[in-house]
Amino acid sequence: MFRLKYTTGLLVIAALFAVAAAQNPSQPPGKPQASPTPEKEQESVRVFTEEVRLPVIAYDAYGHYDPTLELEDILVLEDGIAQQLRSVRHIPANVLFLLDTGGESSGLGGMSKSTSLTRDVASQLVTKLQQGVAIAVMQSGNSAEMLQPWTTDKSAVLKTLKNKLISTKRSRISESIANASAQLKERPEGSRHIVMITDGVDSPGGKVDRAEAMRKLIAARATVHIISYTEFVRQKSDKPSSIVAGPRPPSSDPIRATDPTQPPGTTRSPSYGVRLTFDPAMRRMRKAYEAEVKKSQQALNNVAQETGGRMMLPNNSQEMLAQAIEVARAIDAEYVVTYRPKRPLAEAEPGEYRRIEVASRRVGLSLQSRRGYVVPRN
């Protein structure tokens, strides 16, 4: 009886070895299976990069963020062709703050930007973001400088804003935008955000073209949120260069000039007045600065709309702080929709742009997303 069981066990083991050898004839029985070849690994990577991850924000009929979005609610067209969606979900956001602290005195007597206000707005936004969000901080000053590498520790970010964010004479905003775009490409696609607090104006002498920087930012496939100082500039643009108050000079004092009962050069009471003075050089600087602000505002607004973000134009510091909360809510409410394009990405030309349209299939629901994307290079 024992001998029969023993013989049967040997036959079963031999059969298993025969099956393994048939599946992998080049591999001797009893040896561990070889690891996947590099070709198979590369193939799996190519399959993964065929997936498009599209950020989408959902609003209900009252303009509030909708937490109930489902796959059946969404229609995505790529170059006019409806796509088969695979998933919709929330994933932790990656938020890069680009804070412009350079050139505070550019043409407006130090009133165009305020580093302390920028710090307060950024800090307000950080505190309102959900836990688990990855945050980095870059400063646009005399150069583009990364103050805080990526971290999920919000207390570390707040400490960096308090201790490392400083005012500088120049602003290299175009250089900073280009550098920020490179930083974002290392983060998971579909959850990339950049928050810019700036007037958008470069100081003279920069080496990076603004249009090229904007192209790189769009190619980074991030949602861009902008809190702009440009309305601050416009509110102050009609104010005089300086206001001087004090005693009138005797030559322009109407009382001293017309009172015959008083000796020359005297009067019963001192006469005071207010004089408005205009510095021609300062006026020219102001006009040039306002022209740059107008151009930068248009360029930044185009980027925000293209990427599915918003450009905020606060009129005062209170509005700016309130809008920081609005940006944080938009980041936290964003969904990521995934699909595999019906026209494979592998067939795209280098730098090819694909137009995106996102529509709602549910009554009362409105969706906001980017207008398109640049196909990444392999």
Question: Which pLDDT score, from 0 to 100, does residue 33 have?
Answer: 44
What is the SS3 assignment for 141? coil
User: Domain 92-237+280-332 in CATH: superfamily?
Assistant: von Willebrand factor, type A domain (3.40.50.410)
Whole-prediction pTM = 0.74
pLDDT at 310: 92
188 phi and psi angles, rounded to 5 deg: -60, 135
Q: Between 34 and 272, where is the model more confident?
A: 272
Q: Where do the structural domains in the chain lie, given as residue ranges?
A: 92-237+280-332
Whether 174 has a pLDDT exceeding 60, the answer reads yes
Please choose, from the candidates 245, 235, 243, 237, the residue with its C-alpha nearest in 3D space to the C-alpha of residue 283: 237
User: Closest Cα partner for 311 from 170, 200, 175, 202?
Assistant: 200
Residue 284: the pLDDT is 77
How high is the pLDDT of residue 254? 53
pLDDT for residue 21: 43
Q: What is the mean pLDDT of the chain?
A: 79
Q: What is the pLDDT of residues 360-376, one digit of tens each?
A: 999 999 999 999 998 87
Give the whole-angstrom CA distance, residue 108 versus residue 18: 85
* pLDDT, tens digit (0-9, with 9 covering 90-100), for 75-94: 999 999 999 999 999 889 99
Q: What is the pLDDT of residue 244?
A: 47
User: Which conformational region is residue 308 in: left (phi greater than 0), alpha (psi within -120 to 50 degrees), or beta?
Assistant: left
pLDDT for residue 48: 41
Q: Over range 218-226, report the average pLDDT.
A: 93
Confidence of residue 11 (pLDDT cuts 50, 70, 90): very low
Q: Cα–Cα distance between 310 and 227 in angstroms, integer? A: 9
pLDDT of residue 292: 81
The residue-averaged pLDDT of 270-298 equals 70
pLDDT band, very low/low/confident/very high, at 277 (cuts 50, 70, 90):
low
* pLDDT tops 90 at residue 13: no
Q: Considering only residues 109 and 345, tell me which one the structure prediction assigns the higher pLDDT.
A: 345
Please give the residue that has the higher pLDDT: either 131 or 37: 131
pLDDT above 70 coverage of the chain, percent: 72
Residues 6+ apart with CB under 8 A from 139: 99, 101, 145, 147, 164, 165, 166, 176
